[in-house]
C-alpha cells in the first residue's frame, strides 16, 4: 500500500497558495516541521493529520493517499450501475448504502449511490429520496479529488444537487443553486423554467429567458452550418439535403410575419447551400427556387436597420446590437463570398444558374 501524505500536504498547501511559513503559522508548528512533513523525513501525528485534513477541507483518506485495494468493490460498482440502468432503484440504493457503511469515503461509491437516489427522484417513485441524494452529492463534492473521470466535475455535481431540489419541490433552493452555478449563462434555461413555469415570477425570469433563447439560436446556427455538410460527407447528398430541409423548416418557423429576425441572414446562406445540393442531385428546378429565395431574403435583410431586427417570432424583442452582421458584412456579400469558393470553371452549372437568377430578378 503506497501512501502519499508528504506529496499531498505539499499539493494542498500550494493549492491554497500558501508558503510553508504561512501553513506553519496557521497550524501553530515550526517551519521545520512542515518542511520535514513535505520531504517525508517525518510523519505528523494522527491528531495533526486530522487537523490538516480539516484545514485543507478534505478527508483523511485523500490526504494520506490511501486507495482501497478491495477486489469486491469494483464488482459492487458494476452491480450498482447495472441496477440503476435497469431502474431497480431500491435494490441499488440498498446495495450502495450497505457498501457505504464500510467505505464511506470512496468517491466512486458515494457518487454512484447518489445517482441511484437521483434516478429514483426523477422517476417520481418518491420525493423522500431527494434529501439523502443531496447529502451524498455534497459528500461527493468533498471527495472530488479522488475522481478520475474527467466528465464528472464539481459543476456537474452541484447542478445535480439543483435537480434533486427540483424533484423535492424545493424550487427556491434549486434556483439558488442554478444561479450560483450559472457559468457563462449555461443554466439560464433551468433558471427561467423554475422562475416562470413553477414560481410564476415572470418579470424575474425575463432576462434568463432572453439569454437562453439567444443561446438556443446560436446553437441552431452552429448546427445548421455543420450538420448538412457533415451528413453529405458522412452518408450521401440526399441525406445532406434531408438535414438541410430540417434546418430550413426550423429557421423558417422563426421568421416573423413582418420584418427581419436574427436568424434570417443564416437562412439566406442555408437557402444558397440548399440550391447547391439540389443542383448536385440533378434537381435544377428546386435549386433555382432556393436561390431565388436567398436573393429575395438577402434584399430584405440588407434593407433592415439593425435596431429593427427582432429575436424571432417566438421572442419579438428588438436587438440593440448586431447578431453577426458586423463581422459577416451584408447578406448579399455573404452570398457572393460563398459563390467565390469555387471558380466558374470548377462549377459551371452553378454559375450559370446564378447568372440566370440574377437576370430574372433584375427584370422584376
Q: How many CA atoms lie within 13 A of 320 on its CB side?
A: 1
Q: Rounded to the nearest 10 degrees, how much is the dihedral formed by the CA atoms of 136, 141, 143, 144?
A: 130
104-113, 251-260, 302-311: which has the minimum mean pLDDT? 302-311
Write down the mean pLDDT value for the chain: 88
106-115, 170-179, 290-299, 325-334: which has the minimum mean pLDDT? 325-334
Alpha-carbon span 313 to 307, nearest angstrom:
16
Q: Which helix (H) or strand (E) holds 276?
A: helix 264-280
CB 143 within 8 Å of CB 107? yes
What confidence category does residue 201 fall into, taking pLDDT thresholds of 50, 70 and 90? very high
CB 114 within 8 Å of CB 136? yes
Alpha-carbon span 229 to 9, nearest angstrom:
52
CA of 41: how far to CAs of 5, 7, 36, in Å?
Answer: 11, 12, 5
Q: Give the largest CA-CA distance in the chain.
A: 92
What domains are there in the chain, each with its CATH number? Answer: 5-64 (1.10.260.40), 72-181 (1.25.40.10), 208-363 (1.25.40)
Summarize pLDDT for 47-68 with one digit per residue, the tens.
Answer: 999 999 889 888 787 788 765 5
Alpha-carbon span 316 to 168, nearest angstrom:
35
Amino acid at each position: 500500500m503506497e501512501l502519499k501524505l508528504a506529496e499531498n500536504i505539499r499539493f494542498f498547501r500550494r493549492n491554497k497558495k500558501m508558503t510553508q511559513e504561512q501553513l506553519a503559522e496557521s497550524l501553530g508548528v515550526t517551519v521545520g516541521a512542515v518542511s520535514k512533513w513535505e520531504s517525508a523525513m517525518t510523519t505528523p501525528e494522527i491528531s495533526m493529520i486530522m487537523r490538516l485534513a480539516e484545514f485543507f477541507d478534505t478527508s483523511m483518506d485523500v490526504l494520506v493517499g490511501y486507495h482501497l485495494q478491495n477486489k469486491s468493490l469494483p464488482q459492487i460498482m458494476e452491480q450498482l450501475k447495472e441496477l440503476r440502468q435497469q431502474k431497480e432503484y431500491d435494490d441499488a440504493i440498498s446495495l450502495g448504502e450497505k457498501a457505504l457503511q464500510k467505505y464511506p469515503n470512496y468517491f466512486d461509491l458515494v457518487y454512484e449511490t447518489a445517482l441511484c437516489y437521483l434516478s429514483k427522484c426523477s422517476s417520481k417513485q418518491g420525493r423522500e429520496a431527494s434529501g439523502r441524494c443531496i447529502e451524498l452529492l455534497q459528500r461527493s463534492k468533498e471527495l472530488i479529488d479522488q475522481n478520475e473521470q474527467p466528465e464528472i466535475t464539481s459543476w456537474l455535481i452541484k447542478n445535480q444537487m439543483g435537480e434533486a431540489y427540483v424533484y423535492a419541490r424545493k424550487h427556491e433552493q434549486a434556483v439558488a443553486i442554478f444561479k450560483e452555478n450559472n457559468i457563462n449563462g449555461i443554466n439560464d434555461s433551468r433558471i427561467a423554467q423554475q422562475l416562470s413555469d413553477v414560481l410564476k415570477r415572470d418579470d424575474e425570469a425575463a432576462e434568463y429567458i432572453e439569454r437562453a433563447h439567444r443561446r438556443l439560436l446560436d446553437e441552431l446556427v452552429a448546427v445548421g452550418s455543420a450538420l448538412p455538410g457533415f451528413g453529405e460527407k458522412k452518408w450521401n447528398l440526399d441525406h445532406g439535403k434531408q438535414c438541410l430541409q430540417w434546418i430550413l423548416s426550423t429557421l423558417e418557423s422563426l421568421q416573423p410575419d413582418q420584418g427581419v429576425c436574427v436568424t434570417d441572414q443564416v437562412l439566406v446562406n442555408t437557402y444558397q447551400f440548399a440550391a447547391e445540393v439540389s443542383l448536385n442531385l440533378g434537381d435544377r428546378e428546386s435549386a433555382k427556387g432556393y436561390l431565388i429565395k436567398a436573393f429575395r431574403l438577402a434584399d430584405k435583410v440588407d434593407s433592415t436597420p439593425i435596431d429593427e431586427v427582432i429575436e424571432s417570432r417566438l421572442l419579438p424583442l428588438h436587438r440593440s446590437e448586431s447578431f453577426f452582421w458586423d463581422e459577416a458584412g451584408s447578406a448579399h456579400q455573404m452570398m457572393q463570398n460563398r459563390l467565390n469558393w469555387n471558380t466558374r470553371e470548377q462549377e459551371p452549372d452553378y454559375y450559370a444558374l446564378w447568372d440566370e437568377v440574377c437576370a430574372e430578378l433584375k427584370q422584376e
